[in-house]
Structure 1
Amino acid sequence: MRWLFGVLIAIAALAVSGSAALAANPPRLVSMNVCTDQLVLRLADPEQILGLSRFSRDGWQSHAGDISRYPVLSGGAEDVLLIRPDLVVASAFDKRSTRELLKAKGLRLAELAVPRTLDEARQQIREAGDIIGHPDRAAVEIARLDAALARARRAVAERHYRVLPLSRRGWVAGSDSFVGSLLSEIGLRSAAGDLGFNFGGFASLEAIVNLRPDFIVVSQAGDYAGDDGQAFLLHPALERFYPPEKRIVIPERMTECGGVMLADALDALTAELKRVGR
């Protein structure tokens, strides 16, 4: 048994020394999509970031301030191969052929799963912090998420609201979707199940009006629609039954990826609940 104990001690020592080396020399990295952009901008040092995704300047990263200092990648393998980063941060949604080519050329890829629950979001933040070389920052983000979750639960307590998460063209996020999981975690009941939707589906205006939830949860406020999909939410029938005081607004950029933006999403939700509950 002594030899086994010695082996375990040696493995632990190697793990500690490896973590210390990573913290002292954090990897130079690139990000392949808007969701990994959010993670690296929050967790990495600016000098670590050699490039962000081609959609990084489309308004998804407004929390990060001026990101013009970072090069924008094309989405293909060529510019990544020219940069030769120590680490490529990607997800399962990135083009598989691109990921396989980068690996074949000897680049190290961190392929992060897409979170579907708050627990998976915490795990993703923790994993990203480890591979980027800043687990302490990941711990801070997880604590920030947990604190925001507690605030949202307090705002919902004893209200028993029934809500319908609704987006462009009448898409309803189902009870088993990430948004559905988020609503359930804080104590809101999603009306999507009353429509028979588990993961999600499209609902007609008539079905939405007849459902009569207490609130609809949408991704934008105001009376401007950039396209026909957004125009659905401004249909006169919806505006009649769901005016601004019946709409809870959580910007899509805060919920689409999960991860480090979820604390902001929960705080936005808390603020909206206070507004509509007056």
Structure 2
Amino acid sequence: MHLGDISRFSIAALAVLAALSPDPATAAGPRIASMNVCTDQLLITLADPEQILGLSRYARERFESFAADDARRFPTLSGGAEDILVLRPDIVVASLFDKRSTRELLQEKGLHLVEFAVPRNLDEVKAQMREMGEVVGHPDRASAEITRLDDAIARARQAVAAKHYRVLPLSRRGWVTGSDSLLGSLLAETGLFNAAGDLGITFGGFASLEAIVNLKPDLIVVSEAGDRAEDDGRAFLLHPALERFYPPSRRIIIPDRLTVCGGVMLADALDVLVSELKRVEQ
């Protein structure tokens, strides 16, 4: 089959999908397509299933999305404008990090585009949850999820109270996450002190192994456990010096999929943090 044939086949398949989608006049709310893995997760949580026409191509990636299993119920999009135009959604939700030319083309074609920035603190996260609740027509669901997040924050604060831990969020190749970031805000909300500031890092930056060891934080925060290095980036975290000073009993493990995006998964991230603190204190 030639490339042109494949393209025509894909367009035809999408046309059938669009034809089978709920009629805007009878759907419970606006019909929505998502271009980004973060907007995917907000949409899955807050919208009715019949409102979701398609999700980003990364929606089913377990490493990136806490909603990867639920995402399998919905079509995935290519990331380009063509398949979105065929679906004729009422609204397209996207991140400001998505390809600008694609976003501009969709707007030129008359589609209603709602763009979300990357939140750096929990107040911005809550504002985006409210915004998506309004977009999908279910503000009550957004309010309920914000309440769940506030409850998780309260539990985490109670678990952290009076401990005064200095923690260092550390990932591949020595990347340190600073306080001016979503993960940094999450830690600060609980009362943990992010030691990245002592390295002069605000949003994020690389630190040497020597600097990390000399910093002497009480705990490091990593995204995964295990003793295997698939590549050099992962090998940094398994360096003998780090393993000596920061064995599993001094590592807080919070999976990336719970902190990469701002949304309902942050309540789960906070509950994981509480469980991890209990584990390292045993």
Give the TM-score of the pair, scaled to structure 2.
Answer: 0.88
Deviation at 1:64, TM superposition (A): 5.6
1: CA distance, partners of 2:276 / 2:100: 39
What's the counterpart of residue 56 of structure 1? 59
What's the counterpart of residue 170 of structure 2? 166
The 3-state SS of whatever aligns with 1:259 is: coil
Answering whether residue 243 of structure 2 is matched by residue 244 of structure 1, we say no
Q: Which runs of 4+ in 1 moved over 6 A?
A: none
Deviation at 1:65, TM superposition (A): 3.3
Deviation at 1:230, TM superposition (A): 1.5
The 3-state SS of whatever aligns with 2:202 is: coil
Give runs of aligned pairs for residues 1-278 of structure 1, distance below 5 A: 25-59=28-62, 60-63=64-67, 65-278=69-282
Structure 2 unaligned segments of length 5 or more: list them: 1-24
Deviation at 1:63, TM superposition (A): 3.9
Query: 2:259 touches 2:269 (CA, 8 Å); kept in 1?
Result: yes
Deviation at 1:62, TM superposition (A): 4.0
Report the RMSD for the aligned CA atoms in angstroms: 1.8
The 3-state SS of whatever aligns with 2:127 is: helix
The 3-state SS of whatever aligns with 2:97 is: coil
What's the counterpart of residue 14 of structure 2? none
Structure 1 unaligned segments of length 5 or more: list them: 1-21
Deviation at 1:27, TM superposition (A): 0.8
Query: 2:44 touches 2:67 (CA, 8 Å); kept in 1?
Result: no
Going from structure 1 to structure 2, the CA distance change for 1:26 and 1:248 (only over 3 Å counts) comes to same
Q: Which amino acid aligns with 2:204?
A: G
Q: Which amino acid aligns with 1:44?
A: A
Aligned pair count reads 258
Deviation at 1:232, TM superposition (A): 1.1
- Post-superposition CA distance 1:62-117 (Å, at most 9, x none): 44634323111111101101111111011111111111100110111111122111
Structure 1 vs Structure 2: percent identity of aligned residues? 71
Going from structure 1 to structure 2, the CA distance change for 1:56 and 1:187 (only over 3 Å counts) comes to same
1: CA distance, partners of 2:175 / 2:103: 31
Give the TM-score of the pair, scaled to structure 1.
Answer: 0.89
2: CA distance, partners of 1:102 / 1:185: 38
